[in-house]
Amino acid sequence: MIRILIICLIFFYPNKLLALIEVDITRGNLNPLPIAVSPLSIDENSRKNFEKILKKKNIGSEIAIIVEKNLKTSGLFNPLNKDAFLQAPDIANLKPRFEDWNLIKAQALITGKVNFVEEKLRVEFRLWDVLAGKEMMALAFTTVPNNWRRVGHIITDKVYERLTGEKGYFDTRIIYVAEEGPKTRRIKKLAIMDQDGANNKFLTLGNELVLTPRFNPTSQMVTYLSYFKNLPRVYLLDIETGMQEVVGDFPGMTFAPRFSPDGKKIIMSFAKDGNSDIYTMNLENRIVEKITNHPSIDTSPSYSPDGKYICFNSDRSGYQQIYIMKSDGSSVKRISFGNGLYGTPVWSPRGDLIAFTKLHKGKFYIGVMRTDGSGERLLTENFYQEAPSWSPNGRVLIFYRETETDDKGEGFSAKLWSIDLTGYNERLVNTPTDASDPSWSSLLSN
């Protein structure tokens, strides 16, 4: 349904040997690249047609605004103010007058064109290197008009990839828990939105407590914990159809679910008689396997992207710490040895790092460490924050933060935040209600 057809590539990337602009994303970027996003040009006839269908006056400008906002949020780019643009969008897309763009200090320029073609939206865009005076990329998409926001996200992904050398993360969604009501009687619902906060939708009604939704990396399936009928169990939900089912037949609480990287298994904890161990269930043949067998609490499991290893937290040492093991449960090894407690390990989609929550001296930190536990780096400190989830390119973490209440126990709120792996670019992610437990989807289009 929401698939976009990339119909034709006009010209593919020109010769990479030319020294064109590049953006380094491995360091905190204190000098974001100045970029001009020209409104996409549109002929009067197409404009009127889209206005009728989408109730947007100028869809070309709207798409450009999405690209601009995405680029700004990434922290790597500095989109320039449109008022300073000298060249009209249609002419710029044919052949920019580079001196004009140079004058306003733009180093890169995005131009484009929107057409109404057989009831569909056709968008073409070009990325230009202003200093070198060269076209870096040109692409065109055709899709149903309702997908116009996704077109903006895909353009951003392509530009980001061309300029940084790494895949983008803009054509993605976030599933999370929407929260309302007093702290002692919170009402929680599953909710989903685009990465930029648009198209927010509630997936459950709030009749029962729901927690920790996580995306299947390969499809539009979600696994989460629901207190349906006051029995806390792991569920599967198909976002497209709304179909739900309980995962497995366990005589007690199952929780902390996550998918395996191939999307074929669910890994989770099962608690019985005061002991929580890690189990997997194969979604194809329903076979359940016990992975850990220890009288301590073993929970928050997460697979490595190749599926060969699992990281999890356990209090087998007396306190909550991070461990890794082979996916069959053998070779368990503790990797966190710093001061404090460590929880919620999540393996980066790039495979090289594990993100975690740390509690030390009454403060909560989101941090990352290498998979052998070395190179621990704390990215952010706060009164309460936890549960990081990686962007699909492994460059950004989204997590939630709760505020300290006042003397009367008031002023509680929970919000989503994101931060770059570099520790820079910390941002509040806007949600219509309070929010927690975010999980980032894979790229919707590849």
Contact residues toward another protein (CB under 8 A) are 182-186, 209, 211-212, 225, 230, 232, 252-253, 255-256, 269, 271, 273-276, 297, 299-300, 313, 315, 319-320, 341, 343-344, 357, 359, 362, 383-384, 386-387, 402, 404-405, 407, 409-410, 412, 437
Pair 91, 21: CB distance under 8 Å:
no
Q: Which CB, 196 or 437, lies closer to another protein?
A: 437
Closest CA to 342 of 306, 378, 308: 378
CB 434, min distance to another protein, A? 14
CB 193, min distance to another protein, A? 21
CB 359, min distance to another protein, A? 7
Q: Which CB, 157 or 277, lies closer to another protein?
A: 277
CB 31, min distance to another protein, A? 36
Pair 431, 176: CB distance under 8 Å:
yes
**C-alpha span between 289 and 277 (Å, rounded):** 11
Element (H or E) spanning 86, and its range? Answer: none
**C-alpha span between 322 and 355 (Å, rounded):** 10
Q: Which CB, 85 or 176, lies closer to another protein?
A: 176
Classified as helix, coil or strand, 195 is coil
β-pair type (288-290, 298-303): unpaired
- Partner residues linked to 233 by β-bridges: 226
Q: Which CB, 148 or 417, lies closer to another protein?
A: 417
Q: 291 φ, ψ to 5°?
A: -100, -45
Structure tokens at 78: 């500095």
**C-alpha span between 314 and 310 (Å, rounded):** 12
Look at phi and psi of residue 133 and say left if phi exceeds 0, alpha if psi is from -120 to 50, else beta.
left
Going by C-beta distance under 8 Å and a sequence separation of 6 or more, which residues neighbour residue 330? none
Helices marked H in 104-198: 148-164
CA distances from 243 to 112, 193, 204, 239, 310 (A): 40, 19, 12, 8, 29
Structure tokens at 275: 């002991």
CA distances from 188 to 191, 222, 389, 395, 400 (A): 9, 16, 19, 29, 14
Pair 245, 235: CB distance under 8 Å:
yes
CB 215, min distance to another protein, A? 17
